């Protein structure tokens, strides 16, 4: 701070006095008058406070603008800055922060909530400016604490003058109830506090949703705050709109509304696919928002695919036109980036963490619990080996966690095999019977349990940290006590025994269900997931990843049993999710606005849709913003014919470079190798396209097909010059490959995935005759993305400022690399050729890789596209949608709750 006449301790004391007086005065005066009066009174008590406070506010406002916790793209327009930062001493945010600290949440996590909500509120509507309305999107992670984040946002918004809080809590009653209870507890809605300055008025309860006829009379006092947690049900949303319209206009104008749309990609987007045909829930949410004269609509989701395909030109819809914010990954969060190689670089290692804790359920066992709807009457399942092993591990892991923490905690297992209610009922019966059999036969169970323990305990050891592993003789008595406490519950739309956690009564529960368990609901202490049900869409499949989340003291114990093929699909989705977050970061660097935002989402040919077809009406198909990006061939044909084709195509390309007399440069950092990496400069677009006509690329990558490349270059890269890099591995001359006379490199080690970890089916049927396709998962290393630029630097062809850009690159960050390439030789693209050793073998401890087993080298291809300044921001990947029925949940828009009367309670 600058210009303070008070020292730090005096200012803190004065600030507390000011905030306390402002809270008290808010019930008597409007926000502005309360501020001025409190400022005047405090300045009388602490001389110099007014000047010090003004400097403090300016400093805080600037620090909010500088915060970089997560990434935010926002609307241009020079809107005035209104938010001066969170209250420090007295207010809803200080109270909430105190509760977070008391809960044991790590300080780093609390600070992350603080920093991200500062950014979000800074982009929200000014509650003191009548008519200010803003719409935004917040992208979190599955099971990552989004509720804690929007609770922090609510507390800060109320401190700034928001007086109506509406939380739209998904489509299911159990999720609404869970959110209601969380807010009551975390915001202290039922606690009377002296001098707080705010009086909460709950319009919903844990037992009842919003009612029809609620009097708005309590708004006569400006310190009163209405809060409601509402299910996305037609009648309930209509009740909210009716309540808003019942408030006198002069009052409502001064009662800013904060709408938090949790799981906003579900139900809220228009599912009828047309401006003229608006789905029921979308229509009701639109009506609700249209009734808000001053306020902010904030959509929260971990799977925003449907949100970003809302038509931005439809002013009446809910496209996040003012800001899009990506929350930073919380410390200690176990998400897709931990389990999968989302960067797809060779130097990430052979094995992905997911293979240490995931098991694929055999097809013959999977069909036991996944009957066809037409054969549901014949459904009569029996316990399978994989489900029995999963249950036994759940019991053991729960016991190990209890020994580690020395306290009783909620522990959960998820069983999600079908959306059909009859399947849930019969599956519960099978599991409950199995648990009873174990409990009645404990004397004969020890060896079977011990076998599971020994098979599983060290699988995910890298995630264990310093946590102890108990000796079997210490573990088995505890495990037997756990068996006694296991309960099996069904949680679906028809269940009368829903899953509700009570911190005062920890439970060990196996939860069997469908859509309710795959959407938003937090499964406390989730240790084991057993799910077989697949989905055709990215968003639904990602939401099924309940095994993502925080796992303190038991990260190494988490296990997941998946149906056939699901692991491959999750690996694909992990890269999609990373790409989406990277895209926001790039757009922020390029100063783009939300109206420019359209995610480049990778397709999964023949299998996955991005989101349901009826939510993609505004999407454009099959055009990708490729400028500055990297692509690589991970599917290679190791047959003799395939290898021969690669030799011929690469030899012809290198010979063209030699015939044209292009300069050949070497990598200085590889000078100690017998064969360093080589580079030819100055190849043309026609050379590249001709090469692709001879070189086989899997049909899944349309932009490395000759016609796709030619089309893109005509539109965005007509003047491109290409650097041809012949990447040399570190074989030190033991194995080499010769592209042309005198042009030799060392081979590179790459090994394929074992056949059980991927399916050739995803490539479609248009494969070369007699092809022998392998999946190497990653071809390029992180440094290869800018290898050509390093070679230029080694040969003195880059300026000092260009070298500085290279030195600042974070090779783990695609936005960082892309940004650097846009500044250093932006009109140059790169072709990288790799000679992959046909005798490549996995590292000794690899569990997922096998020998390459080819008679000679295989030629791999990497491409770095030139920067494309004029590339349209609305070009992005989509999919060619097939005409098939989407995977439907067995839920309907039923409403099983009563109305809540705030005057009488529930």
Give the pLDDT confidence score for residue 541 in this predicted structure: 56
Residues 806-825 have a mean pLDDT of 78
Q: Is the dihedral of CA 217, 219, 220, 224 positive or negative?
A: positive
Residues 545-553 have a mean pLDDT of 70
CA distance 827 to 717: 8
- Between 346 and 707, name the one with better pLDDT: 707
Residues 278-295 have a mean pLDDT of 88
Give the pLDDT confidence score for residue 889 in this predicted structure: 38
Q: What is the secondary structure of 57-72 as a DSSP string?
A: HHHHHHHHHH--SSEE
Given a cut of 50, whether residue 845 has pLDDT beyond it is yes
Which of helix, strand or coil describes residue 649? helix
CA distance 185 to 539: 30
Given a cut of 80, whether residue 753 has pLDDT beyond it is yes
Cα–Cα distances in Å, from 707 out to 691, 703, 721? Answer: 12, 8, 18
Q: What residue has token string 């719409």? A: 135
Given a cut of 60, whether residue 619 has pLDDT beyond it is no
Which residues are within 8 A (CB) of 321 and not within 5 positions of it... i.e. 6 or more apart?
A: 75, 135, 312, 594, 595
Q: pLDDT band for position 341 (50/70/90)?
A: low
- Between 372 and 169, name the one with better pLDDT: 169
Residues 837-848 have a mean pLDDT of 87
Phi–psi pair at 530, nearest 5 degrees? -130, 100
Across the chain, mean pLDDT equals 80
Helix axes 472-485, 421-439, angle to 10 degrees: 130
Cα–Cα distances in Å, from 232 out to 105, 173, 843, 892? Answer: 30, 9, 52, 12
Give the pLDDT confidence score for residue 734 in this predicted structure: 65
Give the pLDDT confidence score for residue 16 in this predicted structure: 76
- Between 849 and 572, name the one with better pLDDT: 849
Cα–Cα distances in Å, from 640 out to 92, 651, 693, 776, 860? Answer: 70, 16, 19, 18, 15
pLDDT tens-digit readout, 668-704: 776 667 789 999 999 999 999 999 999 999 988 888 9
Give the pLDDT confidence score for residue 625 in this predicted structure: 63
Beta strands in 45-194 (DSSP E): 71-74, 133-139, 164-169
Tokens of 276: 């003229």
Contact (Cβ atoms closer than 8 angstroms) between residue 524 and residue 428 = no
CA distance 317 to 108: 37
pLDDT tens-digit readout, 289-302: 999 999 999 998 87
Range scoring the smallest mean pLDDT among 242-256, 447-461, 637-651, 721-735: 721-735
**DSSP 8-class letter at 610:** S
Number of other CB atoms surrounding residue 134 within 10 Å: 20
Spatial CA neighbour of 643 closest among 859, 447, 432: 859
- Percentage of the residues of the chain whose pLDDT score is greater than 90: 37
Q: What is the secondary structure of 320-387 as a DSSP string?
A: --SEEEEPPPPTTEE-HHHHS-TT--GGG-SS-THHHHEEEPPHHHHGGG---GGGGGG------HHH
Gyration radius of the chain over CA positions? 30
Spatial CA neighbour of 177 closest among 103, 111, 231, 233: 231
CA distance 531 to 515: 12
Cα–Cα distances in Å, from 176 out to 327, 614, 786? Answer: 23, 25, 49
CA distance 341 to 330: 19
Number of other CB atoms surrounding residue 636 within 10 Å: 29
Give the pLDDT confidence score for residue 8 in this predicted structure: 67
CA distance 715 to 95: 56
Given a cut of 70, whether residue 521 has pLDDT beyond it is no
Number of other CB atoms surrounding residue 45 within 10 Å: 12
Helix, strand, coil in percent for the chain, rounding step 5: 40, 15, 45
pTM over 0.85: no
Give the pLDDT confidence score for residue 1 in this predicted structure: 40
Burial class (CB in 10 A: 0-12, 13-18, 19+), 440: exposed
CA distance 637 to 588: 40
Residues 107-126 have a mean pLDDT of 90
Contact (Cβ atoms closer than 8 angstroms) between residue 149 and residue 311 = no
Given a cut of 70, whether residue 606 has pLDDT beyond it is no
**DSSP 8-class letter at 248:** -
- Between 240 and 315, name the one with better pLDDT: 240
Give the pLDDT confidence score for residue 298 in this predicted structure: 94
Beta strands in 559-604 (DSSP E): 559-562
Give the pLDDT confidence score for residue 601 in this predicted structure: 54
Give the pLDDT confidence score for residue 440 in this predicted structure: 93
β-partners of residue 118 are none
Give the pLDDT confidence score for residue 225 in this predicted structure: 94
**First vs last Cα of the chain: how many Å apart?**
50
Cα–Cα distances in Å, from 263 out to 239, 600, 768? Answer: 20, 21, 44
pLDDT tens-digit readout, 342-394: 566 665 666 667 777 888 888 888 888 878 777 787 888 899 999 999 999 99
Range scoring the smallest mean pLDDT among 189-198, 460-469, 627-636: 189-198
pLDDT tens-digit readout, 415-432: 888 878 888 889 999 999
Number of other CB atoms surrounding residue 635 within 10 Å: 24
Give the pLDDT confidence score for residue 591 in this predicted structure: 67
**DSSP 8-class letter at 865:** P
Phi–psi pair at 15, nearest 5 degrees? -60, -40
Residues 770-798 have a mean pLDDT of 90
Given a cut of 50, whether residue 888 has pLDDT beyond it is no
Burial class (CB in 10 A: 0-12, 13-18, 19+), 855: exposed
Tokens of 451: 């076998």
pLDDT tens-digit readout, 49-90: 887 777 766 655 554 444 445 677 777 655 778 998 898 888
């Amino acid at each position: 701070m600058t210009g303070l006449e008070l020292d730090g301790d005096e200012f803190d004391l004065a600030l507390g006095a000011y905030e306390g007086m402002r809270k008290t005065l808010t019930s008597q005066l409007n926000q502005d008058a309360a501020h001025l009066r409190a400022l005047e009174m405090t300045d009388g008590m602490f001389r110099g406070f007014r000047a010090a406070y003004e400097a403090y506010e300016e400093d805080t406002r600037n620090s909010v603008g500088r915060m970089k916790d997560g990434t935010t793209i926002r609307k241009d327009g020079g809107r005035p800055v209104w938010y001066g930062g969170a209250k420090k001493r007295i207010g809803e945010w200080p109270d909430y922060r105190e509760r977070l600290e008391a809960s044991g949440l790590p300080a780093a996590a609390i600070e992350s909530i603080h920093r991200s909500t500062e950014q979000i509120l800074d982009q929200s509507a000014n509650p003191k400016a009548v008519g200010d309305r803003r719409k935004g999107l917040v992208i979190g992670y599955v099971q990552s604490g989004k509720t804690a984040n929007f609770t922090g946002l609510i507390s800060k918004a109320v401190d700034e003058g928001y007086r109506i809080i509406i939380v739209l809590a998904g489509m299911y009653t159990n999720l609404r109830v869970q959110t209601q209870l969380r807010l009551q507890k975390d915001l202290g809605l039922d606690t009377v506090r002296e001098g707080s300055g705010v009086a909460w008025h709950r319009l919903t309860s844990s037992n009842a949703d919003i009612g029809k006829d609620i009097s708005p009379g309590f708004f006569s006092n400006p310190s009163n705050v209405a809060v409601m947690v509402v299910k996305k049900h037609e009648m309930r949303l209509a009740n909210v709109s009716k309540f808003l319209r019942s408030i006198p206009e002069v009052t409502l104008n001064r009662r800013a509304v904060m709408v938090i749309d949790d799981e906003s990609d579900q139900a809220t987007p228009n599912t009828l696919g047309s401006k003229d045909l608006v789905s029921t829930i979308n229509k009701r949410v639109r009506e609700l928002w249209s009734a808000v004269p001053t306020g902010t609509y904030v959509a929260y989701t971990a799977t925003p695919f449907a949100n970003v395909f809302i038509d931005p030109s439809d002013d009446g819809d809910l496209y996040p036109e003012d800001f899009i914010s990506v929350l930073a990954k919380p410390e200690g969060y176990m998400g897709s980036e931990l389990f999968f190689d989302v960067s797809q670089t060779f130097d990430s290692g052979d094995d992905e963490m997911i293979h240490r804790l995931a098991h694929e359920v055999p097809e013959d066992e999977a069909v036991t619990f996944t009957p066809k709807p037409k054969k549901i009457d014949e459904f009569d399942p029996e316990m399978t080996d994989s489900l029995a092993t999963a249950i036994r591990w759940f019991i053991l892991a729960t016991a190990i966690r209890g020994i580690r923490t020395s306290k009783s905690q909620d522990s959960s297992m998820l069983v999600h095999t079908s959306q059909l209610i009859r399947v849930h009922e019969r599956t519960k019966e099978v599991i409950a019977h199995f648990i009873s059999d174990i409990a009645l036969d404990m004397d004969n169970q020890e060896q079977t349990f011990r076998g599971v323990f020994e098979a599983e305990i060290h699988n995910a050891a890298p995630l264990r940290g310093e946590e102890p592993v108990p000796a079997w003789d210490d573990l088995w008595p505890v495990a037997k006590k756990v068996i006694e406490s296991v309960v099996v519950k069904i949680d679906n739309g028809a269940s009368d025994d829903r899953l509700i956690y009570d911190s005062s009564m920890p439970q060990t529960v196996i939860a069997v269900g469908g859509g309710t368990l795959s959407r938003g609901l937090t499964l406390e202490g989730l240790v084991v997931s057993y799910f077989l049900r697949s989905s055709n869409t990215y968003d639904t499949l990602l939401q099924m990843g309940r095994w993502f989340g925080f796992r303190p003291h038991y990260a190494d114990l988490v296990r997941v049993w998946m149906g056939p093929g699901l692991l491959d699909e999750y690996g694909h989705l992990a890269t999609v999710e990373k790409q989406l977050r990277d895209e926001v970061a790039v757009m922020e660097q390029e100063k783009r606005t939300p109206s420019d935002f359209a995610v480049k989402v990778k397709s999964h040919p023949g299998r996955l849709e991005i989101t349901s077809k009826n939510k993609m009406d505004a999407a454009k198909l099959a055009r990708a913003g490729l400028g500055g990006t990297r692509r690589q061939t991970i599917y290679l044909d190791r047959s003799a014919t395939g290898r021969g084709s690669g030799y011929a195509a690469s030899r012809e390309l290198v010979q063209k470079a030699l015939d044209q007399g292009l300069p050949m440069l070497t990598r200085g950092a590889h000078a100690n190798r017998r064969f360093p990496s080589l580079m030819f400069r100055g190849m043309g677009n026609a050379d590249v396209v001709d090469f692709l006509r001879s070189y086989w690329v899997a049909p899944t990558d349309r932009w490395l097909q000759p016609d796709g490349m030619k089309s893109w270059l005509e539109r965005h890269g007509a003047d491109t010059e290409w650097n041809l890099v012949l990447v040399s591995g570190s074989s030190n001359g033991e194995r080499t490959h010769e592209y042309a006379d005198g042009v030799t490199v060392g081979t590179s080690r790459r090994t394929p995935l074992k056949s059980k970890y991927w399916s050739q089916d995803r490539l479609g049927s248009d494969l070369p005759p007699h092809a022998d396709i392998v999946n190497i998962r990653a071809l390029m290393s992180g440094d290869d993305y800018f290898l050509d630029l390093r070679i230029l630097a080694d040969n003195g062809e880059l300026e000092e400022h260009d070298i500085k850009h290279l030195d600042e690159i974070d090779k783990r960050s695609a936005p960082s690399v892309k940004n650097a390439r846009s500044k250093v030789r932006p009109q140059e693209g790169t072709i990288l050729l790799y000679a992959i050793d046909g005798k490549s073998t996995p590292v000794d401890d690899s569990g997922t890789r096998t020998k390459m087993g080819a008679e000679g080298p295989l030629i791999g291809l990497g491409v770095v596209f030139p920067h494309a300044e004029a590339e349209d921001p609305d070009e992005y990947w989509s999919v060619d949608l097939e005409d098939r029925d989407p995977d439907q949940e067995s839920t309907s828009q039923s409403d099983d709750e009563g109305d809540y009367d705030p005057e009488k309670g529930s």
